[in-house]
Amino acid sequence: MLHRALSEHFPGDWRCQALNISGLCETWRAEGPQGARLFIKTLPQARAAVLDAEADGLRALAAARALRVPAVAGVFLHEGTAVLALEWLDLKPLGDVGGAAFGAALHTAEAPARYGWSRGNWLGATPQDNAWSAGDGLADWLGFLATRRLRPLAQGLDAALVDAVERLISRLPALFDDGHVPRPSLIHGDLWSGNWGALADGTPVVFDPAVSVSDAEAELAMMELFGAPPPAFWPAYRAAAPLHGGYVRRRPVYQLVHLLNHARLFGGGYARQALAVAQRLIQ
């Protein structure tokens, strides 16, 4: 079926090899005429908006010209299946050369002077509301963080966790009392070690985004939660965009966002970890 879909949208005959058919979506390697290759994601047609949003995020990151991303070759429907076709890139682990380039480029693109995005998207399988804030002041960011991230992700989880998150929301201003007002930054949004790599020459590549305009610190906190960039990343990042001294205090708040998401998706230990983090923050 998939090879027929590709042949209808791209010249020639295509062969498809399954890479992963047991996760949140199915992924495939497609080979076409004259050595052409594509990376393919598929979902049931009812979830086509997930792939549309991913394509939108990749195009936004590509337009920003700060980081390399796989080009979007097409997004289409075929016989009840949504298909996202991306440029195939041969990737290797991100080493020190790529790590330094990664740090120098991340969060350097210009962004609108408010928080949010032009559409909702998905953090894994979780819908993410990105309705724009009114402005770019601290109150705007704290409102966005509370109403677009923390509270929706906690909703429906254990009552003790919901209560801890609500108490944390009321105390958020104290974590920003050091003068840090987030500069709206275009962030990847789901930047853990499984969503970055490097080309053969070391050029860093990111993929599978959940983009928004947010506090850059939120991205850095995620990068430190699930895996970590190469050591060369940090001095290069600080040279391009110096970190505010209060980042270490705020890091657990931003990591809590992703722990709450994992608690929703996977339950178990993530819910306990999220509760422990929230309780430490409100002590």
Amino acid in the structure at residue 111 = A
CA dihedral 135→141→145→147, nearest 10 degrees, is -40
**Per-residue DSSP letter, 12:** S
Given 96, 140, 158, 190, which residue is catalytic? 190
13 noted as active-site residue: no
Number of Cβ atoms within 10 Å of the Cβ of 229: 24
User: Where does the chain have alpha helices with state H?
Assistant: 2-9, 48-64, 96-105, 138-144, 151-154, 159-175, 216-225, 233-240, 247-266, 269-282
From CA 186, how far away is CA 111, in angstroms rounded? 6
Q: Find, among 184, 186, 182, the residue nearest to 65 by Cα.
A: 186
- Supply the Cα-derived Rg of the chain in whole angstroms: 20
3-class secondary-structure state, position 196: strand
Active centre residues (catalytic): 190
